Amino acid sequence: MQAFLDLFGAVVSAGNQITWGGLGGVWWLGILIAALLPAGIYFTVCTGFVQIRAFGHMLRVMARSFRKERDDCVSSFEAFATSAAARVGTGNIAGVAVAITAGGPGAVFWMWMVALVGMATSLIENTLAQTFKEPGDEPGTFRGGPAYYIDKGLGKKWKWLSVLFSVFLVICFGFFFNAVQANAMADAINAAWGVHPLLIGVVIAVLAGMIVFGGIHSIGRFAGIVVPVMALFYIVIALVIVVMNIDRLPEVFALILGNAFGAQEAGAGAFGAVVANGIKRGLFSNEAGMGSSPNVGAAADVKHPVVQGYVQMASVFLDTMMICTATAAIILLSDVELSGAVEGVTLTQSALASILGPWGNSFVAVALLFFAFTSIIANYYYAETNIFYLWHTRTSIFCYRVLYIGFILFGAWVAYTGSSGNFALLWNMADMSMGFMASANLLAILLLSGVALKVFSDYEEQRSRGINEPVFDARRYDIPGIDPSVWTPSENTAKPPSEQGTK
């Protein structure tokens, strides 16, 4: 078994060099280190710094997201909650700790940068997912995502890219990410209450199976209740810690900024570790540009594709700017040694316990229990959507479900072994699959950026005419691949609010 894991680890390491850097010993020589931030900056400029300029409008769109367009549809908020359930997970607690351990406090700054420009990237990819979505099997549902907008938007000559993306996503979200989430839960609960890691894995697998087999409606309802509550409690605890240590806050910010730009580093290699770990853990946490959130973003029933773009943009802000920052504050305001001897979620637990006492261990375990579990069930839906795209057979779904459960148990097994090598392999597996998946999606949204910006301009133009809730009419634009049954509104809904209902 160990010989196989060592061989697999070598393959995973080579894959990470291609996507995350390290080819030829150059830390930035990898697809995503070189492309992720520039792509985000490009989308930020093209949308007129939408994440800053339209921040207030984003909050107003979020306030309206609870409303359903039809009784049997998935609301904009349910899609938001499902994507937030996937985003808000191990990356927010264990991932931040891993980034700080491996890259130093400066990695937090690069997590912020990935999130800031990633908000614009998330708006673009989710706008595309909505634009090219199609009706689902169940009444009131839709399916879409990168595989669909690559296939429909770029045409049959790019079919290979849509298939490649779907395969990477199934491996990433269906298998490797779930192993990481289960591992973190098993570690945290074992450290807090001494429960056997393998028993935790079995319980997680059974509970996840009961929820995910209920479909997107079941997942959306569950996430819509759990995600806001758990995020609020976690942020409140972090704010309490910040207030308790308010005099040390300038010191923490100085530590993050000084470390971020290499002022406290020995050379380019150390600086590269700061940037690379910040970008990797930032993308793992907020998923902006990865192509994951569009799979559920497409499921929402909205009047205009950009509406869900704004909603998913808010999810990136919640994930990194609020929850990841909360974890960083807990760790950096504590007296825990950042030597690497304590890894992942146990570092966050130790940090909280050092500030608030022994119950800090239990609090992190409970928070992670909800964070990671909701991620596991949302991850299932992402992968199932792409299994549906690739094969669309009952046999393929059954095989996927068996492997899905198997990787949850694998993550718990890694916690049981207590091996730092297996722990590192687990995160490297997640990084590799995430890297190839994000690379395929970045290429696609850059090629389709003209379509996304055209749809975005339509939304902005309607807003400039005083229309509070713009309606998208595909007949106004020559965009091949759009399903007319989805984006051809009725005569009444296509009118401005001032004129609706006048007949």
pLDDT digits (tens, 9 = 90+) for 264-279: 554 456 778 888 888 9
Average pLDDT of the residues in 299-304: 94
Which pTM was predicted? 0.87
DSSP secondary structure string, 314-340? HHHIIIIIIIIHHHHHHHHTS----SS
Burial call 418-456: b when 16+ CB within 10 Å, e when fewer? eeeebbbbbbbbbbbbbbbbbbbbbbbbeebbebbbebb
- The domain segmentation of the chain, as residue ranges, is 30-460
pLDDT tens across 32-81, in order?
888 999 999 999 999 999 999 999 999 999 999 988 877 778 889 888 88
Sign of the dihedral defined by the CA atoms of residues 228, 234, 237, 239, in that order: negative
pLDDT digits (tens, 9 = 90+) for 393-431: 889 988 999 999 999 999 999 999 988 888 889 989 999
Rg (CA), the chain: 22
Bridge partner residues of 142 (DSSP):
135
235: exposed, middle or buried (Cβ count in 10 Å: 0-12, 13-18, 19+)? middle
Whether 282 contacts 114, CB under 8 Å: yes
Domain 30-460 has CATH 1.20.1740: yes
Write the single-letter amino acid at 429: M
Find out whether 130 and 308 touch, Cβ atoms under 8 Å.
Answer: yes
Is it the case that residue 104 has pLDDT exceeding 90?
no
pLDDT confidence tier of residue 497, bands split at 50, 70 and 90 = very low
